[in-house]
Amino acid sequence: MKDFPAHGAWAAFRLPGATEVYLLEAPEEGIVETRDFEASGFYLAPYKYPARPARLIPFDSSRFRKIALEELCSPSFEEIPLPSGRPENPRHIELVEEARKKIRESKGLKKIVLSNRYDIPLTPPSPRDLFCRLACTYPEAFVYYRHEPGGSDWAGASPEPLLSFVPRAEGGFDAETVSLAGTKTGERPWTPKEEEEQAIVTRYIKNLLMKKGYPLSLSGPYTYRQGHLAHLRTDIRFLVPPEDSFPASLLRELHPTPAVGGMPKNRALDLIDRLEGYDRAFYTGFAGFRLGDKGIFHVNLRTMELLPDTIRLYAGGGITAQSDPAAEWEEVRRKWEVMRRIFGPGKCKTIKNP
């Protein structure tokens, strides 16, 4: 069974639906801080991008390998016992109530996304084991694990593409993004609040692209299932003409979408800073790679930060004037519970049993 590096900086990632894992190993000084996306490599950008730079492991100075998922992961995995008890956070309910009041009293503020973090006092499993649990539990997600000496490790299984682009033979680029918002379990119908929450994201992205004059098409909204959760999703495809700039520059304008920030953007981000009271770091930033003129980037959701003796989970939800504070807290807690399931016993559906 192959393994991840024991030293240096490195990143492993698996594209949605794929059975190959890409591994980039960099020298000790190999991680680069950048605010553009000109180089090929693996990027991890913070929530505060572009005020804070992205972290890049470049292809040209790193060792690059492809590993079949079945060479890296076992077809099944054992349970990792976790501390008992459910997370409780009455303050989150109070913050949602305050955010809802601000939205109702203000003119123009439509939505903000409030998040929280949950610490599990447990030494994390090995990077390979954790990556395999994420990749096997979420076969259709963008899965990554990134290690940087001297800092905490980050891993995630994102269901939400932020931007992908490929060059056209006649010039320009075919590009795609999605509007993803609203969360539910089971088969209940979508609520008007959830439908409006997702529509806000769609309108924001659509208006941004229309102002640029990009031809676009929309498909959705439709129910999009990832593991035990379902979301409302609209696919947005568009054409970047040959005379326009390289589409990676769109990352600066798209991020953060109302799915992780709010609307209007700057007012929502200011309110989030005042209410949340903690540093999101890379949670609700974005992760992905560029290889030549192709690129795939995903919003950094279903995220965990790996500390020496703690597994830190992140989750959030969109708040509108129609939000129920208790229900919003239950949504955050439910997302944590779904992430905790990767530590239970399971099988890797993408790997055939011997």
293-305: pLDDT as tens digits: 999 999 999 999 9
Per-residue pLDDT tens digits for 243-274: 887 788 899 999 999 999 999 999 999 999 99
Question: Is the predicted pLDDT of residue 9 greater than 80, yes or no?
Answer: yes
**Could you tell me which CATH class the domain 9-79+90-346 is placed in?**
alpha beta
- The pLDDT assigned to 352 comes to 64
Mean pLDDT of the chain: 92
Q: What phi and psi, each to the nearest 5 degrees, are found at residue 122?
A: -155, 135
pLDDT band at 3 (very low <50, low <70, confident <90, very high): confident
Confidence class for position 28, pLDDT limits 50, 70, 90? low
Phi first, then psi: give them for residue 65, nearest 5 degrees.
-135, 150
What whole-number percentage of the chain has pLDDT above 70?
98
Give pLDDT, residue 347. Answer: 87
| Triad 334, 349, 80: Cα angle to 5° | 50
Residues 260 and 113 sit within 8 Å (Cβ to Cβ): yes
Band (96; pLDDT cuts 50, 70, 90): very high
Mean pLDDT of 336-353: 84
pLDDT of residue 354: 45
Whether pLDDT at 34 is above 90: yes
pLDDT tens digits, one per residue of 179-204? 998 888 888 899 998 999 899 999 99
Identify the band that residue 325 occupies on the pLDDT scale cut at 50, 70 and 90: very high
- What's the pLDDT score for residue 111? 93
What type of residue is 223? T
How far apart, in Å, are the Cα atoms of 24 and each of 57, 60, 165, 253? Answer: 7, 10, 21, 28
Measured in degrees and rounded to the nearest 5, phi and psi for residue 305 equal -110, 130
Cβ neighbors of 246 (< 8 A, separation 6 or more) are: 38, 173, 293
Q: How confident is the model over 212-225, as a mean pLDDT?
A: 94
pLDDT at 71 over 60: yes
What is the rounded distance in angstroms from the CA atom of residue 283 to the CA atom of residue 269? 14
Least confident of 32-46, 78-92, 107-121, 294-308: 78-92
Where is pLDDT greater, at 52 or 185? Answer: 52
Both tokens of 56, joined, read 């890049």
The string of pLDDT tens digits covering residues 109-137 is: 999 999 999 999 999 999 999 999 999 99
| This prediction's pTM | 0.94
**What contacts 189, CB < 8 A, 6 or more positions away?**
none
pLDDT higher than threshold 50 for residue 345:
yes
Average pLDDT estimate for 206-219: 95
Q: Is 283 a residue whose pLDDT tops 90? A: yes
